Chain A
Amino acid sequence: MAYSEKVIDHYSNPRNVGTLDKSKTEVGTGLVGAPECGDVMRLQIEVDPETHIIQDAKFKTFGCGSAIASSSLATEWLKGKTVDQALEIDNMDIVEELSLPPVKIHCSVLAEDAIRAAINDYRIKNGLAPLEEKAHLH
């Protein structure tokens, strides 16, 4: 399978690989996917409690090149956004940016799920109501 240049770039030079301290209240952690499905994504955000701006984002992904690239790109996009702005990131934006083929769209869906899961974790930790489930049209 031919990967796009951007996927190869993120795979070869992943941005923001790492781990934030998940015990901190300002850190939200999202872990999505399952090993037997071939994709597990962990995405973490560190939010400024005053401004609600995401100051740092880290990921670790077990998956194919497209899954790695999707999560790497997501961390880039998250930094500097407010939590509400982050929720607007749509999986199709990732598909477009990385030129993902149809069989790899699920990687972008997983990245969007990871973002929402991380935000949810942050909201729950800080006494906010969890987000409503979003239905995907796969």
Chain B
Amino acid sequence: MLKLPVYLDSNATTRMDNRVLEAMLPFFTEDFGNAASRNHPYGWKAEEAIDYAREQIAKLIGSSEKEIIFTSGATESNNLAIKGIAEMYATKGNHIITAVTEHKAVLDTCKHLEKQGLQVTYLSVNGEGLIDLGELAAALTPQTILVSIMFANNEIGVIQPISEIARLTHAAGALFHTDATQAVGKVPVDVEAMGIDLMSFTAHKMYGPKGVGALYVRRKNPRVKVTAQMDGGGHERGMRSGTLNVPGIVGLGKAAEICRTEMESETKRISELRDYLETSLLKLPESYVNGSREHRLPNVSNISFKYVEGEGLMMGIKDLAVSSGSACTSASLEPSYVLKCLGLSDDLAHSSLRFGLSRYTTKEEIDFAIECVEKAVVQLREMSPLWEMFQDGVDLSTVQWAAH
């Protein structure tokens, strides 16, 4: 029996792996020590666990364990990276480059800095969701201290050319930060090989617990430092104060280890399921995949169904837990800004669904999802005057709509 609704929203969060939970449990009770307590075995045991987690994480991202700064999650990591660099390198320059499709944790942090007088360039993306390297090269100036471009997008899964971005950034003497929240644990990430100087990621997108994440901060070639954004005990090499969340960090470590050892087989299985879902749904006429299908995470598919309204569609697939580019399901009335940046019209952005598969997604669930979506789209189109007009060959862009 399927558990309803079927969960296909893994870009929002993932179910925690039982193996992660098991690794965490002792650190809530018996081994409850503070990793900063240097005088007794309770503290030593906690510190040992933290060190082990650092190793597990470092192995996943190709860094040294000393380069991992633990935080409360990717939002904090992004804030710490961008504000921390802006502050630390203020004498060097006052210009930051990012992209229009970044997560709000990056965009709003940049807007905050703009209010304080920093210059920010927002790179556009093409119809596939990719930035233009020429535009990046042209935007870099001697004043540029940081380029922050996400690894993979949270709505469409599109993966940016990270190594090339890093190369251009370094050639201009700036640092490169990437928000890799959606990528770490899903696709190979190697900070050394890719030339990443700072990288944000979080546990709960990779089958770990919520409320714990990390910021990778390069220690050599070059040695990067960020100004702490909270004052306190000077934990994490002085960059992030606060008693370490030992169980959470143990969970992040375990989650990283599982992702590393199982990534290859998992990616194959998940991408096959995703492709099966996508090909099946694309059989519906006038349905379109949003974003590059080539440069993309293996577990995401974002599809728009033309002539079907997003909220109506969501109501028709209430047995699926998915996200919609439609505004009405969220607090604001604006459709997804990411999809709009790709050049989608409001109505096509409204009628999009994001399917996020995970370690726990089964073929049976995907079959069920296909059936649900097909049924809803067909029914809603039968009810849609726009679909009828389209079938009759009416060009909808020429219709005089009675504005309401």
Contact = CB atoms under 8 A, between A and B. Distances in A.
A34 B386 CA distance: 10
Given A33-B401, A65-B311, 9 more contacts: A17-B383, A31-B385, A36-B345, A38-B309, A39-B404, A40-B384, A60-B384, A62-B384, A67-B309
A14 interface: yes
Contact of B383 (A14, A35, A36, A38): A14
6 contacts: A31-B402, A32-B404, A35-B386, A61-B385, A64-B311, A65-B315
Given A17-B383, A63-B312, A64-B328, A34 B404 contact: yes
Interface in B139-184: none
Given A14-B383, A17-B382, A63 B401 contact: no
Interface string A97-113: 00000000010011001
Contact of A65 (B312, B384, B385, B404): B312
Contact of B308 (A19, A39, A62): A62
A78 interface: no
Interface size class of A (residues with CB under 8 A): 20 to 34
Contacts of A113: 402, 404
Interface in B325-361: 326-329, 345-347, 350
A40 B312 contact: no
Contacts of A117: 402
A33 B328 CA distance: 16
Interface residues of B, dominant DSSP: helix
Interface in A34-86: 34-42, 60-65, 67-68
Contact of A38 (B316, B350, B402): B350
Interface of A: 1, 3, 11, 14, 17, 19, 31-42, 60-65, 67-68, 106, 109-110, 113, 117
Contact of A110 (B310, B386, B404): B404
A102 to B, nearest CB: 14
A36 B404 contact: no
A96 B35 CA distance: 60
Contacts of B388: 19, 60
Contacts, number: 86
B312 A34 contact: no
A11 B314 CA distance: 12
Interface string B292-332: 00000000000000011111100110000000001111000
Interface residues of A, dominant DSSP: mixed
B396 interface: yes
B376 to A, nearest CB: 11
Interface size class of B (residues with CB under 8 A): 20 to 34
Contacts of B312: 11, 62-65, 67-68
Given A40-B386, A62-B384, A34 B309 contact: no
Interface string B226-250: 0000000000000000000000000
B402 A64 contact: no
B403 interface: yes
Nearest to A106: B404
Instruction: Give the residue among A3, A63, A113 with the most B Cβ atoms within 10 A.
Output: A63
5 smallest A-B Cβ distances: which pairs? A34-B401, A64-B311, A42-B385, A60-B385, A36-B346
B315 A64 contact: yes
A113 B312 CA distance: 20
Given A60-B388, A106-B404, A11 B315 contact: yes
A74 B327 CA distance: 26
Given A38-B310, A38-B328, A32 B383 contact: no
Given A38-B310, A38-B350, A33 B384 contact: no
Nearest to B327: A38
A26 B326 CA distance: 38
B385 A34 contact: no
Nearest to A8: B315
A9 to B, nearest CB: 12
B385 A41 contact: yes
A2 to B, nearest CB: 11
A5 to B, nearest CB: 13
Contacts of B386: 35, 40, 62
A38 B347 CA distance: 6
B309 A39 contact: yes
Contacts of A33: 401-402, 404
